Amino acid sequence: MLDKIVIIKKATGLEELLRRHTTTSQVKFYLESRGESYDYYKEAHDDYIKGLEETIASVPKEYRLQLIDKDNLATFQFSDRDVIVSVGGAGMLVNVAKYVGTQPVISVNPDTERFDSVLSSCTPEEFPAFLKKVGDGKAKTEPLTMAEARLEDGQVLYALNDFFIGRSDHVSARYLLKYDGDEERQSSSGVIVSTGTGSTGWMTSVVKGAYKIASANYEMEDVEEEEPIDIPFSRSAEHLLFAVREPFPSRSSSADIVYGRVTKENPLEITSNMPEKGVIFSDGVLEDYLEFTAGKTVTVFPSEKKVNLVRR
Protein backbone atom coordinates (compact mmCIF):
# COMPACT_ATOMS: atom_id res chain seq x y z
CA MET A 1 0.00 0.00 0.00
CA LEU A 2 1.27 3.46 -0.88
CA ASP A 3 2.14 5.81 1.96
CA LYS A 4 2.25 9.17 0.22
CA ILE A 5 3.13 11.00 -2.99
CA VAL A 6 6.30 13.09 -2.62
CA ILE A 7 6.58 15.73 -5.33
CA ILE A 8 10.01 17.31 -5.72
CA LYS A 9 10.27 20.73 -7.31
CA LYS A 10 13.09 23.10 -8.12
CA ALA A 11 13.55 26.85 -8.18
CA THR A 12 13.13 28.42 -11.61
CA GLY A 13 15.70 30.78 -13.07
CA LEU A 14 13.41 33.71 -12.27
CA GLU A 15 13.00 32.60 -8.65
CA GLU A 16 16.77 32.34 -8.26
CA LEU A 17 17.18 35.86 -9.65
CA LEU A 18 14.52 37.14 -7.24
CA ARG A 19 16.47 35.68 -4.32
CA ARG A 20 19.41 37.83 -5.35
CA HIS A 21 17.61 41.01 -6.43
CA THR A 22 14.46 40.97 -4.24
CA THR A 23 11.93 42.58 -6.60
CA THR A 24 10.71 41.94 -10.13
CA SER A 25 11.62 45.46 -11.21
CA GLN A 26 15.21 45.00 -10.00
CA VAL A 27 15.45 41.66 -11.80
CA LYS A 28 14.13 43.22 -14.99
CA PHE A 29 16.62 46.10 -14.74
CA TYR A 30 19.51 43.71 -14.05
CA LEU A 31 18.70 41.50 -17.06
CA GLU A 32 17.92 44.27 -19.55
CA SER A 33 21.02 46.26 -18.57
CA ARG A 34 23.02 43.23 -19.72
CA GLY A 35 21.11 42.72 -22.94
CA GLU A 36 19.10 39.78 -21.58
CA SER A 37 15.35 39.29 -21.97
CA TYR A 38 13.21 39.33 -18.83
CA ASP A 39 10.38 37.78 -20.85
CA TYR A 40 12.48 34.68 -21.53
CA TYR A 41 12.85 33.99 -17.80
CA LYS A 42 9.22 34.89 -17.10
CA GLU A 43 7.87 32.55 -19.78
CA ALA A 44 10.09 29.68 -18.61
CA HIS A 45 8.96 30.29 -15.03
CA ASP A 46 5.27 30.36 -15.98
CA ASP A 47 5.53 27.14 -18.01
CA TYR A 48 7.31 25.30 -15.19
CA ILE A 49 4.85 26.46 -12.53
CA LYS A 50 1.91 25.55 -14.77
CA GLY A 51 3.28 22.01 -15.21
CA LEU A 52 4.04 21.69 -11.49
CA GLU A 53 0.57 22.86 -10.46
CA GLU A 54 -1.07 20.53 -12.97
CA THR A 55 0.92 17.61 -11.56
CA ILE A 56 -0.03 18.50 -7.98
CA ALA A 57 -3.71 18.98 -8.83
CA SER A 58 -3.96 15.56 -10.47
CA VAL A 59 -2.96 13.62 -7.32
CA PRO A 60 -6.09 11.76 -6.11
CA LYS A 61 -7.52 12.97 -2.80
CA GLU A 62 -7.09 9.57 -1.15
CA TYR A 63 -3.32 9.95 -1.27
CA ARG A 64 -1.28 12.01 1.15
CA LEU A 65 0.79 14.61 -0.69
CA GLN A 66 4.05 16.25 0.31
CA LEU A 67 5.83 18.93 -1.72
CA ILE A 68 9.55 19.49 -1.12
CA ASP A 69 12.28 21.52 -2.75
CA LYS A 70 15.26 19.68 -4.24
CA ASP A 71 17.58 21.76 -2.04
CA ASN A 72 16.11 19.95 0.99
CA LEU A 73 16.64 16.42 -0.32
CA ALA A 74 19.70 15.76 1.82
CA THR A 75 17.67 16.06 5.04
CA PHE A 76 14.38 14.54 3.90
CA GLN A 77 13.43 11.05 5.03
CA PHE A 78 11.59 9.00 2.39
CA SER A 79 9.35 6.07 3.32
CA ASP A 80 9.72 2.76 1.47
CA ARG A 81 6.05 3.13 0.49
CA ASP A 82 6.40 6.62 -1.01
CA VAL A 83 5.98 7.32 -4.70
CA ILE A 84 8.59 9.90 -5.68
CA VAL A 85 7.68 12.41 -8.37
CA SER A 86 10.49 14.53 -9.82
CA VAL A 87 9.18 17.56 -11.73
CA GLY A 88 11.84 18.93 -14.06
CA GLY A 89 14.38 17.82 -16.64
CA ALA A 90 17.06 15.13 -16.57
CA GLY A 91 19.14 17.19 -14.15
CA MET A 92 16.37 17.00 -11.57
CA LEU A 93 16.31 13.21 -11.71
CA VAL A 94 20.08 13.12 -11.31
CA ASN A 95 19.74 15.21 -8.14
CA VAL A 96 16.94 13.03 -6.78
CA ALA A 97 18.70 9.71 -7.55
CA LYS A 98 21.24 9.98 -4.72
CA TYR A 99 18.59 10.20 -2.03
CA VAL A 100 16.02 7.55 -2.99
CA GLY A 101 15.90 3.85 -2.28
CA THR A 102 13.81 1.20 -3.99
CA GLN A 103 10.75 3.45 -4.39
CA PRO A 104 9.38 4.01 -7.90
CA VAL A 105 10.35 7.39 -9.33
CA ILE A 106 8.11 9.16 -11.83
CA SER A 107 10.02 11.83 -13.74
CA VAL A 108 7.55 14.45 -15.00
CA ASN A 109 8.69 16.78 -17.78
CA PRO A 110 6.67 20.00 -17.26
CA ASP A 111 8.12 21.82 -20.26
CA THR A 112 9.02 19.69 -23.27
CA GLU A 113 10.09 22.79 -25.23
CA ARG A 114 12.93 23.47 -22.78
CA PHE A 115 13.70 20.15 -21.05
CA ASP A 116 15.13 17.07 -22.71
CA SER A 117 12.84 14.04 -22.34
CA VAL A 118 15.58 11.38 -22.33
CA LEU A 119 14.98 10.54 -18.64
CA SER A 120 11.32 11.55 -18.46
CA SER A 121 8.50 9.18 -17.57
CA CYS A 122 5.65 11.42 -18.73
CA THR A 123 4.21 14.91 -19.10
CA PRO A 124 1.83 16.47 -16.53
CA GLU A 125 -1.12 15.49 -18.74
CA GLU A 126 0.00 11.85 -18.70
CA PHE A 127 0.90 11.80 -15.01
CA PRO A 128 -2.48 10.57 -13.60
CA ALA A 129 -2.34 7.41 -15.73
CA PHE A 130 1.23 6.70 -14.66
CA LEU A 131 0.41 7.25 -11.00
CA LYS A 132 -2.55 4.88 -11.27
CA LYS A 133 -0.31 2.17 -12.73
CA VAL A 134 2.10 2.59 -9.83
CA GLY A 135 -0.76 2.41 -7.34
CA ASP A 136 -2.12 -0.72 -9.00
CA GLY A 137 1.32 -2.33 -9.05
CA LYS A 138 1.33 -2.45 -12.86
CA ALA A 139 3.94 0.18 -13.68
CA LYS A 140 6.96 -0.68 -15.80
CA THR A 141 10.23 0.40 -14.23
CA GLU A 142 13.76 0.62 -15.55
CA PRO A 143 16.48 0.03 -12.94
CA LEU A 144 19.15 2.63 -13.62
CA THR A 145 22.61 1.54 -12.50
CA MET A 146 24.43 3.92 -10.17
CA ALA A 147 28.15 4.19 -9.49
CA GLU A 148 29.49 4.03 -5.94
CA ALA A 149 32.72 5.58 -4.70
CA ARG A 150 33.79 4.33 -1.27
CA LEU A 151 36.74 5.67 0.72
CA GLU A 152 38.67 3.45 3.10
CA ASP A 153 37.19 5.37 6.06
CA GLY A 154 33.65 4.43 5.02
CA GLN A 155 32.59 7.68 3.32
CA VAL A 156 30.41 6.98 0.28
CA LEU A 157 29.27 9.01 -2.73
CA TYR A 158 26.83 7.91 -5.46
CA ALA A 159 26.50 9.00 -9.08
CA LEU A 160 23.76 8.45 -11.63
CA ASN A 161 25.86 9.87 -14.48
CA ASP A 162 29.55 9.92 -13.60
CA PHE A 163 32.34 10.59 -11.13
CA PHE A 164 35.27 12.94 -11.55
CA ILE A 165 38.36 11.99 -9.53
CA GLY A 166 41.16 14.55 -9.60
CA ARG A 167 41.84 18.10 -8.46
CA SER A 168 39.39 20.96 -7.96
CA ASP A 169 41.66 23.31 -9.95
CA HIS A 170 43.48 22.96 -13.27
CA VAL A 171 46.72 21.53 -11.85
CA SER A 172 47.55 17.94 -12.83
CA ALA A 173 46.13 15.24 -10.58
CA ARG A 174 48.63 12.68 -9.25
CA TYR A 175 47.61 9.27 -7.97
CA LEU A 176 48.25 5.54 -8.02
CA LEU A 177 45.71 3.71 -10.18
CA LYS A 178 45.01 0.00 -9.73
CA TYR A 179 42.91 -1.94 -12.23
CA ASP A 180 42.63 -5.53 -13.41
CA GLY A 181 45.70 -6.71 -11.52
CA ASP A 182 47.93 -3.88 -12.79
CA GLU A 183 48.90 -0.57 -11.26
CA GLU A 184 50.73 2.61 -12.23
CA ARG A 185 51.37 6.10 -10.98
CA GLN A 186 49.75 8.68 -13.20
CA SER A 187 49.65 12.41 -13.79
CA SER A 188 46.56 13.57 -15.67
CA SER A 189 43.61 15.93 -15.79
CA GLY A 190 41.66 13.43 -13.71
CA VAL A 191 39.70 10.22 -14.11
CA ILE A 192 36.09 9.95 -15.32
CA VAL A 193 33.99 6.94 -14.30
CA SER A 194 30.67 6.71 -16.13
CA THR A 195 27.44 4.75 -15.80
CA GLY A 196 25.33 3.76 -18.79
CA THR A 197 23.05 6.73 -18.07
CA GLY A 198 26.00 9.10 -18.20
CA SER A 199 27.75 7.41 -21.11
CA THR A 200 26.04 9.67 -23.67
CA GLY A 201 27.59 12.75 -22.03
CA TRP A 202 31.05 13.37 -20.59
CA MET A 203 32.39 9.91 -21.38
CA THR A 204 31.36 10.16 -25.03
CA SER A 205 33.03 13.55 -25.36
CA VAL A 206 36.27 12.20 -23.82
CA VAL A 207 36.34 9.18 -26.16
CA LYS A 208 35.36 11.09 -29.29
CA GLY A 209 37.93 13.80 -28.63
CA ALA A 210 40.72 11.28 -28.02
CA TYR A 211 39.81 9.36 -31.17
CA LYS A 212 39.78 12.51 -33.32
CA ILE A 213 43.17 13.60 -32.02
CA ALA A 214 44.65 10.13 -32.54
CA SER A 215 43.24 9.78 -36.06
CA ALA A 216 44.58 13.22 -37.02
CA ASN A 217 48.09 12.51 -35.74
CA TYR A 218 48.61 8.85 -36.59
CA GLU A 219 47.96 6.51 -39.44
CA MET A 220 45.24 4.37 -37.90
CA GLU A 221 46.94 1.18 -39.02
CA ASP A 222 49.91 2.22 -36.84
CA VAL A 223 47.69 2.44 -33.75
CA GLU A 224 47.64 -0.77 -31.75
CA GLU A 225 44.22 -2.37 -32.20
CA GLU A 226 42.35 -2.93 -28.96
CA GLU A 227 38.85 -3.94 -27.94
CA PRO A 228 36.45 -1.12 -28.95
CA ILE A 229 34.87 0.98 -26.19
CA ASP A 230 31.14 0.35 -25.98
CA ILE A 231 29.63 3.82 -25.72
CA PRO A 232 26.96 4.67 -25.16
CA PHE A 233 25.84 1.58 -23.27
CA SER A 234 22.72 0.41 -21.48
CA ARG A 235 21.51 2.43 -18.49
CA SER A 236 20.84 -0.85 -16.68
CA ALA A 237 24.21 -2.41 -17.50
CA GLU A 238 26.00 -3.93 -14.51
CA HIS A 239 29.28 -2.26 -15.35
CA LEU A 240 30.87 1.18 -15.53
CA LEU A 241 33.54 2.64 -17.81
CA PHE A 242 36.52 4.72 -16.75
CA ALA A 243 38.76 6.94 -18.84
CA VAL A 244 41.85 8.92 -17.87
CA ARG A 245 41.77 12.50 -19.14
CA GLU A 246 44.97 13.69 -20.81
CA PRO A 247 47.40 11.22 -19.19
CA PHE A 248 50.98 12.50 -19.19
CA PRO A 249 53.89 9.99 -19.32
CA SER A 250 57.06 11.15 -17.57
CA ARG A 251 59.91 9.75 -15.48
CA SER A 252 57.57 9.44 -12.53
CA SER A 253 54.25 8.70 -14.29
CA SER A 254 52.92 6.28 -16.89
CA ALA A 255 50.00 6.30 -19.30
CA ASP A 256 49.24 2.67 -20.14
CA ILE A 257 46.06 2.05 -18.10
CA VAL A 258 43.85 4.73 -19.62
CA TYR A 259 40.39 3.13 -19.86
CA GLY A 260 38.52 0.02 -18.86
CA ARG A 261 35.31 -1.68 -17.81
CA VAL A 262 34.58 -1.62 -14.08
CA THR A 263 32.52 -4.35 -12.42
CA LYS A 264 31.86 -5.47 -8.85
CA GLU A 265 34.38 -8.26 -9.36
CA ASN A 266 36.90 -5.97 -11.04
CA PRO A 267 36.62 -2.52 -9.38
CA LEU A 268 38.76 0.54 -9.93
CA GLU A 269 41.03 1.58 -7.05
CA ILE A 270 42.82 4.93 -6.85
CA THR A 271 45.11 6.24 -4.12
CA SER A 272 45.65 9.99 -4.00
CA ASN A 273 49.14 11.52 -4.22
CA MET A 274 47.71 15.05 -4.04
CA PRO A 275 48.68 17.05 -0.91
CA GLU A 276 45.77 19.45 -1.46
CA LYS A 277 42.66 20.07 -3.57
CA GLY A 278 42.10 16.43 -4.41
CA VAL A 279 38.36 15.77 -4.84
CA ILE A 280 35.80 13.20 -5.93
CA PHE A 281 32.54 14.69 -7.13
CA SER A 282 29.51 13.22 -8.85
CA ASP A 283 27.25 14.29 -11.69
CA GLY A 284 29.01 17.58 -12.29
CA VAL A 285 28.18 18.99 -8.84
CA LEU A 286 31.46 20.18 -7.32
CA GLU A 287 29.69 21.27 -4.11
CA ASP A 288 28.78 17.64 -3.38
CA TYR A 289 32.22 16.08 -3.03
CA LEU A 290 34.54 13.87 -1.01
CA GLU A 291 37.95 15.20 -0.07
CA PHE A 292 40.62 13.10 -1.79
CA THR A 293 44.01 14.19 -0.50
CA ALA A 294 47.28 12.30 -0.16
CA GLY A 295 47.03 8.79 1.25
CA LYS A 296 43.29 8.39 0.77
CA THR A 297 42.11 5.44 -1.32
CA VAL A 298 38.80 5.19 -3.18
CA THR A 299 37.24 2.08 -4.67
CA VAL A 300 34.70 2.61 -7.45
CA PHE A 301 32.21 -0.02 -8.64
CA PRO A 302 28.58 -0.49 -9.77
CA SER A 303 26.38 0.07 -6.73
CA GLU A 304 23.69 -2.20 -5.35
CA LYS A 305 21.64 1.00 -5.18
CA LYS A 306 19.41 1.52 -8.24
CA VAL A 307 16.96 4.16 -9.39
CA ASN A 308 13.64 2.54 -10.33
CA LEU A 309 12.50 4.91 -13.05
CA VAL A 310 8.89 4.50 -14.16
CA ARG A 311 8.77 4.08 -17.94
CA ARG A 312 6.13 3.95 -20.66
Question: Of the candidates 138, 154, 180, which is a domain's last residue?
Answer: 138
Question: Lowest-pLDDT range, 5-14, 129-138, 164-173, 225-234?
Answer: 225-234
DSSP labels for 82-100?
Answer: -EEEEESSHHHHHHHHTT-
Question: Lowest-pLDDT range, 201-210, 211-220, 221-230, 232-241?
Answer: 221-230
Confidence of residue 298 (pLDDT cuts 50, 70, 90): very high
Is 309 within the bounds of a domain? no
How high is the pLDDT of residue 220? 54
Picking from 267, 290, 269, 285, the residue whose alpha carbon sits closest to that of residue 157 is 290
Tally the domains of the chain: 2
Are both 88 and 47 inside the same structural domain?
yes
Range of the domain at 52: 4-138
Q: What does pTM read for this prediction?
A: 0.89
pLDDT per position as a tens digit, 80-89: 999 999 999 9
Are both 233 and 271 inside the same structural domain?
yes
How high is the pLDDT of residue 216? 75
pLDDT per position as a tens digit, 152-203: 999 999 999 999 999 999 899 999 999 999 999 999 999 999 999 999 988 9
What span, in angstroms and rounded, lies between the C-alpha atoms of 59 and 122? 14
Mean pLDDT computed over 274-284: 95
Mean pLDDT computed over 126-130: 97
Mean pLDDT computed over 45-68: 96
- Give me the sheet containing 191-194, strands edge to edge: 259-262, 240-244, 191-194, 162-167, 278-282, 285-291
Say which CATH number the domain at 192 has.
2.60.200.30
